Structure 1
Amino acid sequence: MSFLKDKLSIFTKTELPFIKRYQESDRVYTFLFEKDKDLSWNEGQHGLFTITHKKMKDSIRPFSVASSPSEGVVRITTRIDEEPSEFKKALLELEEGMKIKMIGPVGSFYLKDETPRLFMAGGIGITPFRAILKQLEADGNRGGKPSELLYVDSQEAHLYKDELDELARNTSIDVHYLSTRNDMYSYTNEFIASHNNNAQYFVSGPKSMVASMTNYLKDKHISKRNIIKDTFRGIE
Structure 2
Amino acid sequence: MRTAKLLRSRILAPGVRELTFDPGPDFEFEAGQWISCRIPATYGEDLARSYSLASAPRADGTFDLAVTRVDEGPGSTYLHSLDLGAEVTISRAQGFFTMDEFERPAIMIATGTGISPFRAMLQALDAQGAFPYPVCLLLGVRTEKDILYGDEFEALARQRNLDFSVTLSQPSQWSGRRGYVQTHLPELVGRFQGQCDVYICGLSKMVKDVRRILKEELGLTKHQIHSERYD
- TM-score, normalised to structure 2, is 0.84
Distance in structure 2 (CA, Å) of the matches to 1:63 and 1:140: 27
The one of 30, 34, 37 equivalent to 1:42 is 30
Equivalent residue of 2:147, what SS? coil
Distance in structure 2 (CA, Å) of the matches to 1:56 and 1:120: 38
Deviations 1:175-228 (A, max 9, x none): 011124756345422332343453211001111111110100011111011110
Is the CA contact (8 Å cut-off) linking 1:70 and 1:138 kept in structure 2?
A: no
1:55 Cα shift? Answer: 6.8
The one of 110, 116, 132 equivalent to 1:121 is 110
Is the CA contact (8 Å cut-off) linking 1:120 and 1:204 kept in structure 2?
A: yes
Task: Please name the residue that 2:214 is paired with.
Answer: 217
Q: Does 1:165 align with 2:163?
A: no
Q: How does 1:67-86 map to 2 (within 5 A)?
A: 67-70=55-58, 72-81=61-70, 83-86=71-74
Distance in structure 2 (CA, Å) of the matches to 1:169 and 1:52: 43
Between 13-22 and 24-33, report the one with greater CA deviation: 13-22
Task: Please name the residue that 2:137 is paired with.
Answer: 149
Task: Give every structure 1 segment of 4 or more consecutive aligned residues whose post-TM-superposition deviation is greater than 4 Å.
Answer: 52-56, 180-183
Q: Does 1:193 align with 2:198?
A: no
Distance in structure 2 (CA, Å) of the matches to 1:58 and 1:225: 38
Distance in structure 2 (CA, Å) of the matches to 1:88 and 1:123: 14
- TM-score, normalised to structure 1, is 0.83
1:58 Cα shift? Answer: 4.6
1:171 Cα shift? Answer: 2.0
Shift of the 27–189 alpha-carbon distance from structure 1 to 2, 3 Å rule, reads same
Distance in structure 2 (CA, Å) of the matches to 1:104 and 1:217: 33
Unpaired stretches in structure 1, ≥5 consecutive residues: 1-12
Equivalent residue of 1:190, what SS? helix
Distance in structure 1 (CA, Å) of the matches to 2:66 and 2:150: 14
How many corresponding residue pairs? Answer: 219
Is the CA contact (8 Å cut-off) linking 1:20 and 1:95 kept in structure 2?
A: no
Deviations 1:137-171 (A, max 9, x none): 111125x2011001111223211111111122232
1:53 Cα shift? Answer: 9.5
Shift of the 140–53 alpha-carbon distance from structure 1 to 2, 3 Å rule, reads farther
The one of 96, 100, 110 equivalent to 1:108 is 96
Is the CA contact (8 Å cut-off) linking 1:44 and 1:109 kept in structure 2?
A: yes
Identity across the alignment (%): 24
Unpaired stretches in structure 2, ≥5 consecutive residues: 170-177
1:62 Cα shift? Answer: 0.4
Equivalent residue of 1:188, what SS? helix
